[in-house]
Structure 1
Amino acid sequence: MFQVHFEETEEAKELLSFLTKTMSSSLFIEGIEILHNDRTISIRYPNEVHQECLQLLRNSLKGFIIAFKKEKWFEKLLEQQYYYNEAEERHQILEILHSILEGEREDIELLPYIDENEMLERILQEFLSEQPSFYFESFETFRLKPYFEHLMNYLDAAIDEYKMEQEYQAFVHMLRDFLKGRESKYKKIFLVDQDGFQFFIEGGIPLKRSELAKIIDRKLVTNHPIYVDSVTIAPLISIAPEEVYVFTDNMDQGMVVTLKNIFEEKLTVFPLESYPFQEQVKY
């Protein structure tokens, strides 16, 4: 017989749920009996299906740890060790964390690869062969330590990414505030993405770099703690156009995304080839 003891009734119920799902989806074992009280799960089985029952318990514990326990552990760590007391902040960090673990954040530096399923399978194989009856909290503290240490790399990366996103949002809001109430030096600006962004006004007339440098409001680049790009963003903000037209073949690049966030509905993006005054563009 296998027995797993918990300190919290909620966790015992969660493991029971994973055991039930595992049995119904992949592993039907004849003669098995699952018993539970508030905080203990017991699995009785005939001796001849010992290995099958062992695999059932391993699979269920892996699901329980990855889908339930890991989330609670991250939540607790964020609140008690990193002092993120707001639930919304923790939620945003966990969203980033999951996207990192699922490989959706290619821009983040390479992290040590972790195959959670394989690592937990190895830990559980060794542990359950020695301990058919155990307290989950002790197992978590002593045997899952390597697993959680690996996950810490991902949590740290998620926190760093969250901080950068917060700084970026503050940067965008600062530039939007700077734009408010400014008089437009030109109603329409055309940005052509060719060897950097080239500035044009109506009629395809180019604005030279020397002209743009004179237009820049010095308060924008000297009075703010966040660095403002002096080649594209600073002159464009200083001009404060009512309409911005961007021509590019790379619509997802960081500069275009940032300009969209700053100018919002004032900005429209077109393919590079659609700019009507190609003869004025420097290639």
Structure 2
Amino acid sequence: MIEMHFQETTDAQKMYKGLLRKVEALSIDYIEVVHEEENVVSVFASEKTQYVVQVVIIPVMTEFIIKNKEDHWILDYIENLFYFTDYEEKKQILEIAKALMDGNNPDIPTVQDVVPREQLVAEALYDFLQVPISFSFESFLKFRMRSYNEALLQIVESAIDEYKLEQEYQTFIQGLREFREKREPKLEQLHILHDEQFYFYNDTFTEIKRDELFKFIDRKLILHQPMYIDSAVLAPLVSIAPRSISIYTDQMDNGMIQTIHNIFLENVSIYTKKSFENRRLRAKKI
């Protein structure tokens, strides 16, 4: 028998329902899940006790902990260890932390050398659940989850670093946007071909060579930016401040292209790389 005692009645109810669903899904008829006392959930198995622990109890408890407790712990770290109190900031850091753990956001790098938290929770449960056992669920969380908590803290630290980088990037983008908006355009239109490197062309599709591009750069832009600004692409582009930019690329998710789009917004149009020559030929015929 396994008997779990909970401080919160709602936790006991959720665990009870989760165990019932798992037993029904696996069609196991030798397990009885009991919830007679409001804060106690018991599991009785008439046979294959270890199998029941590994296939039913550990997966259900692991899912329950991650689904119902993890966000609270992450927010607790964010607020009480790193002193973020603003609701929106905490929410954004939590979202980044979840994305880091789930690995489902290509814009956010994964954290290296962190064991999946499902594995850490399951291992802690496997080491602890020696049948028969009666235990406090909250005590298990407090004293038996060290590896999981250490991994969670590492994730939170990485999420905060990522959040700060994103804030710096947004400040950088806003600064360039404001600089561009205050300038008179040096050229009305620019065409940019992305073919490993970035090649600039004027409105007649005549290439603007590197030495010409450098002449456009406003030195105040370089001096007043807190972050490094690329002198081959961004610095001349923002200094020229064209009203219209056409980019030709096969890599829409390229970081530089995303940055250009974030600065110039609706002034940017993006086309496939192969359309560049067609448009260039048409322009030359006019």
TM-score bucket of the superposed structures, by smaller chain: 0.7 to 0.9
In structure 1, C-alpha distance between the alignment counterparts of 2:64 and 2:3, rounded to whole Å: 15
CA spacing shift, 1:30–1:152, aligned 2, 3 Å: same
Work out whether residues 111 and 153 of structure 1, in 8 Å CA contact, stay in contact via their aligned partners in 2: no
Gap runs ≥5 in structure 2: 282-286
| CA-to-aligned-CA distance 1:34-73 (integer Å, 9 cap, x gap) | 12545x2231536546446544332321111122222221
CA spacing shift, 1:128–1:110, aligned 2, 3 Å: closer
Map of 1:256-267 to 2, 5 A cutoff? 256-267=257-268
Map of 1:45-56 to 2, 5 A cutoff? 45=44, 47-48=46-47, 50-51=49-50, 54-55=53-54, 56=56
CA spacing shift, 1:29–1:69, aligned 2, 3 Å: farther
Map of 1:86-235 to 2, 5 A cutoff? 86-104=86-104, 108=109, 111-129=112-130, 132-194=133-195, 196-235=197-236
Q: Which amino acid aligns with 2:67?
A: A
CA spacing shift, 1:225–1:14, aligned 2, 3 Å: same
In structure 2, C-alpha distance between the alignment counterparts of 1:157 and 1:167, rounded to whole Å: 15
Q: Which amino acid aligns with 2:227?
A: I
CA shift, 1:113, in A, is 4.2
Q: Which residue of structure 1 lines up, in the alignment, with residue 41 of structure 2?
A: 42
| Count of residue pairs the alignment pairs up | 277
CA shift, 1:101, in A, is 2.0
| CA-to-aligned-CA distance 1:170-200 (integer Å, 9 cap, x gap) | 1111111112232111110111224622221
In structure 2, C-alpha distance between the alignment counterparts of 1:59 and 1:195, rounded to whole Å: 47
Work out whether residues 248 and 270 of structure 2, in 8 Å CA contact, stay in contact via their aligned partners in 1: yes
- 68-77 or 203-212, larger mean C-alpha shift: 203-212
| CA-to-aligned-CA distance 1:129-161 (integer Å, 9 cap, x gap) | 067111222211221111221233322222222
In structure 2, C-alpha distance between the alignment counterparts of 1:220 and 1:170, rounded to whole Å: 14
Query: So what's the TM-score if we normalise by structure 1?
Result: 0.86
CA shift, 1:255, in A, is 0.6
CA shift, 1:237, in A, is 0.9
CA spacing shift, 1:187–1:52, aligned 2, 3 Å: same
CA shift, 1:5, in A, is 2.2
- 178-187 or 112-121, larger mean C-alpha shift: 112-121
Work out whether residues 96 and 159 of structure 2, in 8 Å CA contact, stay in contact via their aligned partners in 1: yes
Work out whether residues 191 and 247 of structure 1, in 8 Å CA contact, stay in contact via their aligned partners in 2: yes
Classify the secondary structure of the residue corresponding to 1:32: strand
Classify the secondary structure of the residue corresponding to 2:129: helix
Instruction: Give me the CA root mean square deviation.
Output: 2.6
In structure 1, C-alpha distance between the alignment counterparts of 2:86 and 2:18, rounded to whole Å: 30
Classify the secondary structure of the residue corresponding to 1:24: helix
- 150-159 or 228-237, larger mean C-alpha shift: 150-159
Q: Work out whether 1:6 is the aligned partner of 2:6.
A: yes
In structure 1, C-alpha distance between the alignment counterparts of 2:145 and 2:132, rounded to whole Å: 15
- 227-236 or 25-34, larger mean C-alpha shift: 25-34
In structure 1, C-alpha distance between the alignment counterparts of 2:27 and 2:89, rounded to whole Å: 39
Q: Which residue of structure 1 lines up, in the alignment, with residue 284 of structure 2?
A: none
CA spacing shift, 1:48–1:84, aligned 2, 3 Å: same
Percent identical pairs in the alignment equals 33
Work out whether residues 101 and 110 of structure 2, in 8 Å CA contact, stay in contact via their aligned partners in 1: no
Classify the secondary structure of the residue corresponding to 1:269: strand
Q: Which residue of structure 2 lines up, in the alignment, with residue 269 of structure 1?
A: 270
Work out whether residues 35 and 42 of structure 2, in 8 Å CA contact, stay in contact via their aligned partners in 1: yes
Gap runs ≥5 in structure 1: 279-283
Work out whether residues 78 and 90 of structure 2, in 8 Å CA contact, stay in contact via their aligned partners in 1: yes
Query: So what's the TM-score if we normalise by structure 2?
Result: 0.85
CA spacing shift, 1:32–1:49, aligned 2, 3 Å: farther
Classify the secondary structure of the residue corresponding to 2:258: helix
| CA-to-aligned-CA distance 1:108-147 (integer Å, 9 cap, x gap) | 3651142434433332222120671112222112211112
- 99-108 or 190-199, larger mean C-alpha shift: 99-108
